[in-house]
Structure 1
Amino acid sequence: MSKTILVTGAGSGFGKAAAIGMARNGHDVIATVHVASQVTPLREEARALDLRNLRVERLDLTDPYDIRQAQGFDIDVLWNNAGMGEAGPVFEIPLDLVRRNYEVNVFLPLQLTQGFVRKWIDAQKPAKIVFTSSMGGLFTPANWGVYVSTKHALEAVAEALQQELRPFGIKVQTINPGAFYTGYNETMADAPFRWLDDARHVTKRADLRAEFDRFLQAPDGHLDAREMIERMIEIVPADSGRFRNVVPKATEDMLKAHQLAAWENPI
């Protein structure tokens, strides 16, 4: 059954590829992008692919007028996919960057979601909310703590919403990608070097760079994104499925083992 799906963060990466894929499958997709310069290229790409059911709009979550406009769209599925990440040692990262990461990854998606939820409840309309979380929403590697803590918060928000909204026929899911190669993690790994200063901080730039390089260059640190995109195209419009969707299976197994081991983790 065809759905009308709003995708945030569709200017690149998972969001863009999955938006195109869902439109190809016959869904009406509103692909929203963060900056105005992304609008026309994606509209032209949709025209070149003859995807008349792929509509492109700007949605900067920090702009209240953009949010108000988006909340006026009549949709069946809200996919909160937009996000950003700050990395670096939690004990040294500037707190304004921590607050900004929570604003973009938690507070603003929740604001967008609340507006749609109230509309759906008032209209007695069954609907669905999907959050792009992360493998990092279920464990915390050193030096990625700020970003993954926003995803831990998103996991809690989604789990609460699932219970609260079930009586109204509104479904909630999370998607938890592993370390797929889209450029997102690589860009996040560059972020601390705009503030990290060897003269002021305990953490040294060269040491942190080497640690990030080891993580990103490991075989499970740059997985082929096509697997995740194909699963997103299936998961987002579906009427049934699991609440939490970790991809690939090897990452799911690792996270389950990590969570079990956490019960015996010594100080």
Structure 2
Amino acid sequence: MENKTILITGAGSGFREGTAIGLAQSGYQVIAGVQISPQVTSLRNKAKELGLEGNLRVEKLDILDHFDVEYALTWDIDILFSNAGKGEAGPVFEIPIELVRSNFETNVFAPLDLAQKFIAKWINEKRGGKVVFTSSMGGLFTPPGFGIYVATKHALEAIAEAMLDELKKYNIKIQTINPGAYLTGYNETMSDNAFRWLDDSKNFTKRDEMKATFASLLDKPEGRLDPKEMIDAMIKIVPSDTGKFRNVVPKFVEDMIKEHQIKAWDVEI
């Protein structure tokens, strides 16, 4: 697999940047797609400092920009690691619908479009391939305050599960990776997004109430995990030819989700 080329979207920060660097250090050919030009410069400089210019290529790839997408389709890749996304938070019964649409556009429609295009390319070329979607622990349950974001991840779970069976005859593999609450700044920034629009004079949900909800989920050790654990897992999972379809990390989160799903059958209104 070391000769395989891996395209990572959303590689400008967090897990994805760390994984891009780690895979390149492991000898894989990596194309790191980042959203904006300053991220290109920053990651190229890191690649140079680490002596990785030979196998860590950095390109601008905004998955919502059709010119970027069409250019990306000229690249010869074996694995698409689909990470690019954003998060909107706040009460589902009050969040502005335009933010919901935007979150689905970035987290569901654009990743699906890119995956479809690469899958069609592989099928036409009569070759195998692999798509790995970064979902979330939230793709498997729904905490309060994050309903819209995790709805996009629930959608990705359904898309990936359907693709898993649909693409077996073409030797195209599908996986999801479901990170727990790692401290990359992503969850904290997503929480902040709610306060762009929550207004105590207009909304039923008050700002202090929303802050308390977020704090109850994130301001504890299991909400602030060391991201190195997740990066190390991604470096192993993404290039592998075998493995589980769904990959929840860490194990205690997988166990918590399984317990939650069993209890869900007995929830009453």
CA–CA distance in structure 2, aligned partners of residues 248 and 44 of structure 1: 31
CA–CA distance in structure 2, aligned partners of residues 243 and 203 of structure 1: 38
1:32 is aligned to: 33
- Could you tell me how far 1:214 is from its partner in structure 2? 2.4
CA–CA distance in structure 1, aligned partners of residues 98 and 168 of structure 2: 36
Structure 2 counterpart SS, 1:55: strand
* 1:153-175 deviations in Å (ceiling 9; x for gaps): 00000001111101000000000
Structure 1 counterpart SS, 2:242: coil
Letter in 1 for 2:70: R
- Could you tell me how far 1:72 is from its partner in structure 2? 1.3
Residue identity (%)? 60
Structure 2 counterpart SS, 1:246: strand
Structure 1 consecutive aligned stretches of length 4 or more whose deviation exceeds 4 Å: none
- Among 225, 243, 246, the residue aligned to 1:244: 246
- Among 53, 59, 62, the residue aligned to 1:57: 59
The answer on 1:41 being equivalent to 2:42 is yes
2:166 is aligned to: 164
CA–CA distance in structure 2, aligned partners of residues 244 and 184 of structure 1: 21
Q: Do the aligned partners of 2:144 and 2:213 also contact (CA within 8 Å) in 1?
A: no
* 1:130-165 deviations in Å (ceiling 9; x for gaps): 000000000001111000000000000000111110
1:201 is aligned to: 203
CA–CA distance in structure 2, aligned partners of residues 175 and 197 of structure 1: 35
- Among 107, 110, 113, the residue aligned to 1:111: 113
Following superposition of structure 1 onto structure 2, how do residues 1-267 of structure 1 map, counting pairs within 5 Å? Answer: 1-2=1-2, 3-51=4-52, 52-267=54-269
- Could you tell me how far 1:191 is from its partner in structure 2? 0.4
Letter in 1 for 2:222: D
- Could you tell me how far 1:215 is from its partner in structure 2? 1.5
TM-score, scaled to structure 2: 0.98
- Could you tell me how far 1:244 is from its partner in structure 2? 0.1
* 1:5-60 deviations in Å (ceiling 9; x for gaps): 00001000000000000000000000010011110111111011111200000001
Where in structure 2 are there 5+ consecutive unaligned residues?
none
- Could you tell me how far 1:102 is from its partner in structure 2? 0.2
- Could you tell me how far 1:210 is from its partner in structure 2? 1.8
TM-score, scaled to structure 1: 0.99
Letter in 2 for 1:206: D
